[in-house]
Structure 1
Amino acid sequence: MAKTDGGPRKSDALHLDDFSVKQQPNHQTVPKYYGEALLAAARTDSSILALTADLTAPTETDLVRDHLPDQFVMVGIAEANMVGVGAGLARAGFIPFVHSFSVFLSRRSFDQIAMQIAYPKTNVKLVGFMPGIDSLLGVSHQAIDDIVLMRALPNMTILEPANPADYEDAVAAALAHEGPVYLRLYRATTPATPMDGVSPLQAGKIRHLHHGTDAAIFATGLMVEQALNAAEDLKSQSINASVIDCASLKPLDVAGILDVISQSKVIVTAENHTIIGGLGSAIAEIMASNNIARPFFRIGVQDCFAEGGSRAFLFGKYGLSASDIAAAVKQGLTS
């Protein structure tokens, strides 16, 4: 079963640079948080397999390749075929983790995901890296619509951790769910710091990261850091905002979200994704279904394509920065 895609066989669970990650100028090595979590799980369960479509290093599956070669499958540049292979392996009793860049996995394989994974509730874990506009490689590599595609599929669970330190919990949550899961991840460029006093990531649960009643900022993935920075900036201006980590995009913690909204004057959502069909739409649906009226703002990609660039440049240009979130809160409080 095992195949390799060449490259060095030695692995020390650290990486320098590749085309999906821009490291710091001093070439500081950074742990492969997802790769280490998957490897640890695979060591304890031989049914766990890592499949990849010629993106071994960028998806951190080289750790499984190097340490557990019998649990690694290189499919080649054939994402749709890889999804079919994963579905077949799941029916044979394995637990396949199927890896690629988010945009390739969601768009190129959508029909296979719908018919071979979501519809029959196949126990396949889809793992997409390089989320949203966070890419130097431009439009072809930017997954601005993967969440809406996966949200639209019945039986699909979607998890987008805020911090690579949460990846171990995300892998555990994916394994705990018997059925399809889509993990939306980014690779760490600096060592990740666990959030103190915060409960572990769980499917179907929000996490309160910052407390306030002037506004509630619902965020996911990379936007959680931006939301926390915005909340600190607002606090210096005597505006207290809650920051809610919505790592579980499906299922949503509807009761928890409604409780937060009931205590907040302004609602803001923040996502590294189109504002159409993602987290913003999900929160809006909850509010509309419960006849709730509040000043409401969606921070995200505003129905457009981006271009290649650094995270800071793209988030600034396309309105995804902490200052954009803070501005929305202040606009809501003065409207």
Structure 2
Amino acid sequence: MTATTTTTGPEPSASPDLSKPVGDPPLLEVRNLTVTYGGTVPAVRGVDLRVEAGQKLGIAGESGCGKSTLALALLRLLPATAKLTGEILLDGEDVLTMKWGRLRAVRWAGASIVFQGAMHSLNAVHRVGDQIAEPILLHNAKATPAAARKRAGELLEQVGLPAVRAQAYPHELSGGQRQRVMIAMALACDPRLIIADEPTTALDVMIQAQILRLIEQLVADQDVGLIMISHDLAVLADTCDRLSVMYAGRVVEEGPARQVYAEARHPYGRALSAAFPRIGDLASRRAPRGLPGDPPDPAALPGGCTFHPRCPVALDSCATEDQELREAGGERRAACVLVDTPATDDSRNTA
């Protein structure tokens, strides 16, 4: 993989609740990150993120918006055809400039990832306990195989599985159990940051709720940072502290999770919110609304604001003028020319 670092402009201003003493860097700070495939296809375009220890950041968007590419970029897990520019500062150290040995040490120990689709991420011919023990042995030179296996059993119990299940093969476990194994593996080396990429994909709603509560509890108990990626805005609003909404490789809205879900300031955020039913309030009387069309092809992005071909409130200028994130009140920012204009009920319903 080619990893180059560009000179960026000033850091994005931090929200008041994220302020820390001068000289004490956040757990993760992403500055102007760009990921381009094949030299011409931009999958991630100038993304800025900030995560503190103990904070839960949600990243939402439709399939094809760049969420998974962003997750893999944070630990340089993308194929060699991807070119990364910008900065990914983990505890103040740039992941993009790390040499291979240092990067190998940071993966799993500094930051770990829970991949979507546990059945495809686990090795089908190895017992799950051995797979959990493997990163422990790789990152701790003093660990013995017996100690690593014991730790694997403890981790399984920590995520709600009996230690004896360490002897099982992936196909002998249910979908929810396999996802718990992936979480146990992510915790194996006590990382400070966990990246969960669609951790509840293909799970029924009961198991999904259990997995989400488990992740929340682990973050609270161990004071780690969490980045949770999903297309489901309702899940992220219920689980995370802050929320970033991505479209066409860029963050188009960010702010406190429940505020973004309840009253998004960007038309795309409103459309995502309107696509899910709300239980227990007057909104539940209205059927969820879909958003016509699809996200644009990264190889052929439209001019101006990339959302304007699908936007129900687009102005003529939106077809030619791109929009950067701007203050949207309080701790919120949105990339929309109408961000200073209060959204009416009709505009929300149309979106």
Is the pair's TM-score, using the shorter chain for normalization, greater than 0.5?
no
- The structure that has the greater radius of gyration is 2
Q: Which has the higher contact order (CA 8 A, sep 6+)?
A: 2
